[in-house]
Amino acid sequence: MEPLTWTGQFGTFLNPIMLAAVVVFFAAAILNFVIGFAGIRAGGYEVNDEGTMVMNRTPSDYLLMAMQFAVLVFLACCVGFIIGGIVLPEMAQKGILGAVGQRLLPVWIALIVTFALSITFKARLGLYGKLFNSSIGMVGFGLVMFWVYAALFSAWVAPFDALDQISSLRNDIPGTPTPEGEAYSHYLFGGDRLGRDVFSRVILGSTFVLQIAPLATVFAFMVGITLGLPAGYFGGRLDTILTFVANLVLAFPVILLFYLLVTPEIVAAGLPQYMSMVLFLFPIIFLVTLFNSRFHTQPKRRNLLVGLTVLIGGLLYLSLISDRGTVIDVLGWSRLPESWPDRISLGLFSIPLPQSLDLFDIGGNILIVFVSVVFVNSPTVFRIVRGITLDIKTRDYVAAAQTRGEGPWYIMLWEILPNARGPLIVDFCLRIGYTTILLGTLGFFGLGLSPESPDWGSTINEGRSLLTVYPHPALPPALALMSLVLGLNLLADGLREESLKD
Amino acid sequence: MGAFILRRTGVMILTALCLTFVVFFLTNLFPNLEKLAKTQGNARMSDAEVVSWLDRNGYGGPMILRYGEWLGVVPGWTREDPQTGEITGRCIDFGMDPADAPRFCGLLQGDLGYSTVSNDEVAHIIGGRLVLTGILMFWAFAIMVPAALLVGVLAGMREGSRLDRSLSTFSIASTATPEYVSGVVFIVLLASSTAGVSSTLSEWGWLGPDGWLGDRNTLFLGSARSAMDGGITFWNFTLPVVTIALYGMGYIARMTRASMAEVMTSQYIRTARLKGVSFRNIVLKHALRNALIAPFTVIMLQFPWLLTGVVIVETLFSYNGFGWTLVQAASNNDIELLLACSIVAVLVVLVTQLISDIGYVLLNPRIRIS
């Protein structure tokens, strides 16, 4: 079989159009810049004396219109390639872009459904609906949802498994056909150093990022909120101590912290697990305080909610922190190495419970990556929450609640927190992006994750040694990571703009 | 003002002590020491031999005492060999008479210890590497700061205009591109002989033996190794510098934009405008000075971020500076060298924080006068 071309059959007439669009765009942009210096600006509306309005058009306006048109043509060509890939029967006719478009069919359908539903009902959807009024927010949301759906449907989208190797396709260029009898007829983005499919690995790598990054951010927010609210509300010595500790963590260069936390020696000492014991406690504390402060006047309901939280949360907590054969082995038997002088006594924690209660073992390394990312992010969230609390606690409704005799935790969690949601939601989006970058950094330095893991950072790290000769294994994960983070940042920007309009 | 600086310095010293202790604790945990013993002594040591090796080499005492020794506030350990009567100690260099050795030798005395992997004084290694990184940082700052301020001021002077929207989108895109992504993209686009711009230009004959753009195969070099021996050229140093500068730029530009936009809506600008001052003069003479106070803080606080960037870029472009040393020290379990790197990193962060705090107070007349 022949190697695929990038654009396939549609390329013969779409390629020149696309090229023309790009040329027109850049020519217009440069011209516009030049005539801007010559003093020609975009025209505007002018109101005449008799009450009519005149719209002036200058050359600058026409150039801007040309640029807009070029962008539209370019996008239309991209859509054309995807439709071509879905409609045309033969692989050679589809081309690489078309074939990728066809593999991503479930993602396109889900995206179209999401956008159609959201735009139809946007009046009823609150802040989320308002997002669809800003074009930047919509682009960001589209990019994020693209990766969310790619991760959800990765089993259908990715033609190969992350570790499938075809040794004859090592470092082969995009579009190389696979031997007879393989799961799919081509390596769409080529093969990497070990002959694995780059396209499948990029898609499968998205599941890792989209599982860890949002969850780690949620945990960081739980820690930051649980500590930041009292620090801002009560102030005093508690505030001084907490702020000092937060600044301590913030003054630590992130990369050094990772190197100190994620090296095998430290992991063997169990330090990340002790940290996870502390950090993972915060969501339970948060939820218990949340329910208790609200329903303590209705003991029955309170007991039910708090009991459920403690039971479910506690079981999840113990399952999460305990790992068979490591330092913290709560649900099995604690097996501590005897020859370990620096050991902190764990006698308290070696509760013998049946092994079957340990619901899941997260791969030890992923737990460590997770903990370090939460640890790095929490102090920043703490500072943001503390700052907002300091601002909001002087408002009238807080004073009203205080006069009503509400407890401090009720005021913090049910009066201050809901009113701080705007900036917190925006920061949440930004922070997921930052966490994605951190995860990529960890992968890039080969810290914590196994080298064959398909996550984007590790794949970039693996591809960079031969980068100048074989660029195709490292480039797709790099662009994937960039597009996801860009999407999250644009989404945050759109949300900020729309929430400010309130 | 004096009291403020004193208090800030006090907090900084306390923070530095806490952080150095944390780093010392993490690098001197037993598994690290065990690995050190096995690489320095014998790979097949028994547990008892490891403990005795550690005792002989001064790693046996309690952690807090060893931290004191390292810091230089507790006298260095000395030990007399029961069989030979030879005296060894922390402060006694090889071949030195024990009687001449100083009592204290630690950070405060300027003795950073000895790198076990590269067999050299840590201070000597770090010094050279810091110079290399300093050059890289200098160029990165020289590009990043003016470019970021320009973008921020241009975007902020007419909030909501088309120029503002396109520059803001550019800033967002730059903050969304970490160094390891932009570095990879730059190398593929500009420094690869098989792909990107360079290969196209070679095909046209613009690059290559008789091309007018230069006789090299690529526009830029994807490795900064040749820049280390003093030969910094446009060809080998552009990509690392631009890669570092790009990620930090967006953030500074956004801060400048926010600050500029806020200043442009203030009362005194409106007054100036009503008096008929031209827009150019309003921006350059009235708004700019006040708008640059906030970005100053942000630029100083950018150092800790740049540190991560430096580590990534130096690894990616194989430039043996400070960041590269940190990675090597951490992966080779070179305890003293890693400790020294951490101290430098922590100090850089804390000193820039201090400068940014004091600078903010000095620059802002509202705070300075009250």
Q: What is the pLDDT of residues A361-378, one digit of tens each?
A: 555 578 888 888 999 999
Q: Do B349 and A441 touch (CB under 8 A)?
A: no
**C-alpha–C-alpha distance, residues B64 and B340, integer Å:** 18
Question: Higher-confidence residue: B110 or A437?
Answer: A437
Q: Which of A104, A99, A138 is nearest to A118 (CA)?
A: A138
Distances (CA, A) of A194 to A167, A457, A471: 7, 17, 15
Predicted local confidence at residue A354, as pLDDT? 44
Residue B121 DSSP code? E
A462 and A428 within one domain = yes
Contact residues, chain B, for A213 at CB < 8 Å: none
| CA B222/CA B190 separation, integer angstroms | 8
Task: Check residue B171 and give its pLDDT.
Answer: 93
pLDDT, averaged across chain B: 83
With an 8 Å Cβ cutoff, are A467 and B192 in contact? Answer: yes
Least confident residue range of A190-194, A446-450, A460-464, B244-248? A446-450
- Mean pLDDT over B37-44 rounds to 79
Give the pLDDT score at A356. 46
Higher pLDDT, A219 or A270: A219
Any A CB within 8 A of B64 CB: no
Q: How far is A207 from chain B (nearest CA, A)?
A: 19
**In terms of residues, how long is chain B?**
370
Residues of A in contact with B176 (CB under 8 A): 433, 482, 485-486, 488-489
Judge whether A228 and A389 are in contact, CB under 8 Å. Answer: yes
Q: Which of residues 289-328 of B touch A (CB under 8 A)?
A: 304, 307-308, 311-312, 315-316, 323, 326-327
Q: pLDDT tens digits, residue range A96-119? A: 888 899 999 999 999 999 999 999
Element (H, E) at A403: helix A396-404
Of the residues A91, A116, A132, the one at which a domain ends: A91
DSSP string, A183-217: SSSEETT-B-TTS-BHHHHHHHHHHHHHHHHHHHH
Residue A460 lies in a domain: yes
Has residue A45 got a pLDDT over 50? yes
Q: In B, residues 151-170, which contact A (CB 8 Å cutoff)?
A: 162, 168-169
In which residue are the tokens 């007991």 written? A303
Shortest alpha-carbon distance between residue A93 and chain B (Å): 24
Distance CA B10, CA A414 (A): 38
* pLDDT band for position A84 (cuts 50, 70, 90): confident
- What φ, ψ does residue A55 adopt, rounded to 5°? -105, 120
Region(s) of chain B under CATH 1.10.3720.10: 126-369
Q: How far apart are CA A93 and CA A90, in angstroms?
A: 5
For A269-327, write each residue's pLDDT tens digit. 777 778 888 888 999 999 999 999 988 888 899 999 999 999 988 888 877 776 655 55
Contact A171, A193 (CB under 8 A): yes
CA distances from A33 to A10, A27, A40, A286, B222 (A): 34, 10, 10, 54, 32
Rounded to two decimals, what is the model's pTM? 0.89
The alpha-helical segments, DSSP class H, found in B91-161 are 122-157
- For chain A, the domain total comes to 2
Distance of CA B29 to the CA centre of its chain: 25
Cβ neighbourhood burial of A192 (10 Å; 0-12, 13-18, 19+): buried
Q: Is the dihedral of CA A73, A74, A75, A80 positive or negative?
A: positive
Chain B contact for A338 (CB, 8 A cutoff): no
* CA-to-CA dists, residue A57 to A34, A62, B80, B182, B341, angstroms: 17, 7, 92, 39, 60
Could you tell me where the DSSP H helices lie in A131-187?
135-152, 154-157
Token pair listed for A10: 């549609």
- A174 and A68 both lie in a single domain: no
Listing DSSP states for B8-54 in one string gives HHHHHHHHHHHHHHHHHHHHTSHHHHHHHHHHHS-TT--HHHHHHHH
The pLDDT of residue B209 is 67
CA pair distance B243, A478, nearest whole angstrom = 14
Q: Given this model, what pLDDT does residue B142 score?
A: 92
Q: Pick from A56, A91, A126: which residue ends a domain?
A: A91
Provide the 10 A C-beta neighbour count for residue A38.
Answer: 9
The parent domain of residue A82 ranges over 1-91
**Which residue in the set A248, A263, A471 is minimally distant from B192, CB to CB?**
A471
Nearest alpha-carbon partner for A370 in A299, A267, A284, A463: A267
- Based on the domain organization, do A172 and A55 belong to the same domain? no
Taking the C-alpha atoms of residue B161 and residue A255, their distance in angstroms, rounded to an integer, is 38
Is B181 close to A64, i.e. CB distance below 8 A? no
Query: Mean of the pLDDT values across residues B126-139?
Result: 90
Report yes or no for ipTM above 0.85.
Answer: yes
Contacts of B304 in chain A (CB under 8 A): 251, 253-254
- For residue A50, give how far its alpha carbon lies from the nearest alpha carbon of chain B (Å): 27
CA-nearest of A121, A114, A87, A119 to A101 is A87
pLDDT score recorded for residue A364: 57
Residues A72 and A120 in one domain: no
| B338, B30 contact by CB (below 8 A) | no
SS3 state of residue A55 = strand
A313/A298 Cα distance (integer angstroms): 22
Mean pLDDT of chain A, nearest integer? 85
Q: Which of A269, A457, A460 sits opposite B30 (nearest CB)?
A: A269
Query: Around Cβ A13, how many Cβ atoms within 10 Å?
Result: 10
Q: A137 to chain B nearest CA, in Å?
A: 12
For chain A, positions 246-265, list CB contacts with chain B under 8 A. Answer: 247-248, 251-256, 259-261, 263-265
- Closest by CA to A423, choosing from A501, A502, A495, is A495
Q: For residue range B173-215, list pLDDT tens digits in order.
A: 999 999 999 999 999 888 887 777 877 887 777 776 666 766 6
Strand partners, B120: B115
Partner-chain residue, chosen from A251, A340, A467, that has the shortest CB–CB distance to B188: A467
Q: Is residue A133 part of a domain?
A: yes
The answer to the question of residue A294 being in a domain is: no
Q: What is the mean pLDDT of residues B288-299?
A: 82
Q: Is residue A185 part of a domain?
A: yes
Selected residue with higher pLDDT from A184 and A320: A184
Count of helices and strands (H, E) across chain B: 16, 4
When pLDDT is cut at 50, 70 and 90, the band that residue A85 belongs to is confident
Give yes or no: residues A145 and A253 share one domain. yes
Contact A139, A170 (CB under 8 A): no
Å between A420 CA and nearest CA of chain B: 21
Average pLDDT over residues A120-131: 86
Question: CA angle A35-A41-A45, nearest 5°?
Answer: 150
Residues A65 and A121 in one domain: no
How many whole angstroms separate alpha carbon B237 and alpha carbon B249? 18
Whether A336 has a pLDDT exceeding 50, the answer reads no
Asked if the model's pLDDT at residue A442 lies above 60, the reply is: yes
B230: confidence class by pLDDT, cuts 50, 70, 90? low
Angle (CA) B50 B54 B59, round 5° = 150
| Judgement on whether residues A109 and A241 belong to the same structural domain of the protein | yes
CATH code at A199? 1.10.3720.10
The helix/strand/coil state of B318 is: coil
Confidence of residue B94 (pLDDT cuts 50, 70, 90): low
Average pLDDT over residues A47-70: 85
- For residues A40 and A169, membership in a common domain is answered with no
What are A276's two structure tokens? 């996870």
Radius of gyration for chain A, computed over Cα atoms and rounded to the nearest angstrom:
27
Residue A493 φ/ψ, nearest 5 degrees:
-65, -45
Residue A44 DSSP label: -
The residue out of A66, A91, A116 marking a domain boundary is A91
* A170 lies within 8 A of chain B by CB: no
Q: How far apart are CA A92 and CA A13, in angstroms?
A: 16
Q: Are residues A168 and A59 in the same domain?
A: no
Q: Which fold has domain B126-369?
A: MetI-like fold (1.10.3720)
Give a yes or no: residue A137 inside a domain.
yes
* Cα A297 → chain centroid: 39
Element (H, E) at B345: helix B335-363
> Do A67 and A33 meet the contact criterion of CB atoms below 8 Å apart?
no
Q: Are A37 and A97 in contact (CB under 8 A)?
A: no
Q: Cα B154 vs. chain centroid, distance in angstroms? A: 29
- Domain membership flag for residue A130: yes
Distances (CA, A) of A309 to A136, A312, A371: 39, 5, 22
Vertex A493 angle, CA A490 and A494, to 5°: 90
Q: Do residue B181 and residue A339 have CB atoms under 8 angstroms apart?
A: no
* CA–CA min distance A291, chain B (Å): 37
Residues 226-255 of B with CB under 8 A from A: none
Of A344 and B325, the structure prediction assigns the larger pLDDT to B325
For residue A478, name the pLDDT band (cuts at 50, 70, 90): very high
Flag if B196 and A475 touch (Cβ within 8 Å): no
Q: What is the mean pLDDT of residues B255-279?
A: 91
Tell me which residue in B29, B175, B218 faces A489 most closely, judged by beta carbons: B175
Q: Does position A202 have pLDDT exceeding 60, yes or no?
A: yes
Greater model confidence, B357 or A202: A202
Environment class of A12 (CB within 10 Å of its CB; exposed 0-12, middle 13-18, buried 19+): exposed
Question: B95 falls in which pLDDT band (50, 70, 90)?
Answer: low
Q: Does A34 lie in the same domain as A125? A: no
- Whether residues A78 and A118 share a domain: the answer is no
Interface A-B, measured as beta-carbon pairs within 8 A, has a size of 150
| Residues of chain A contacting residue B178, judged by C-beta atoms under 8 Å apart | 437, 440-441, 481, 485
Instruction: Please report the pLDDT score of residue A489 as a whole number.
Output: 95
Which pLDDT belongs to residue B59?
81
How many Å apart are CA A462 and CA A454, to the nearest integer? 10
- Return d(Cα A416, Cα A467) in angstroms, integer: 51
Strand pairing report for B87-89 and A186-187: unpaired
Q: A136 pLDDT exceeds 60?
A: yes
pLDDT for the residue B61: 76
A76 and A136 co-located in one domain: no
How near does any CA of chain B get to the CA of A143, in Å?
Answer: 13
User: CB distance B308–A340 less than 8 Å?
Assistant: no
DSSP-derived letter for residue A51 is S
Q: Which two tokens stand for residue A130?
A: 């308002």
Contact A389, A416 (CB under 8 A): yes
Tokens of B326: 């940190």
Whether B29 and A342 lie within 8 Å, measured CB to CB: yes
Is A380 inside any structural domain? yes
Min distance B100 CA to chain A CA atoms (Å) = 35
Domain presence at residue A5: yes
Q: Do B175 and A478 touch (CB under 8 A)?
A: no
d(Cα A92, Cα A23) in Å, to the nearest integer? 28
A122: closest CA of chain B, how far (Å): 24
Length of chain A: 502
> Cα angle at A284 between A283 and A285, to 5 degrees?
90
As a whole number of angstroms, the distance between CA A328 and CA A332 comes to 9
Chain B residue nearest residue A257, CA to CA: B23
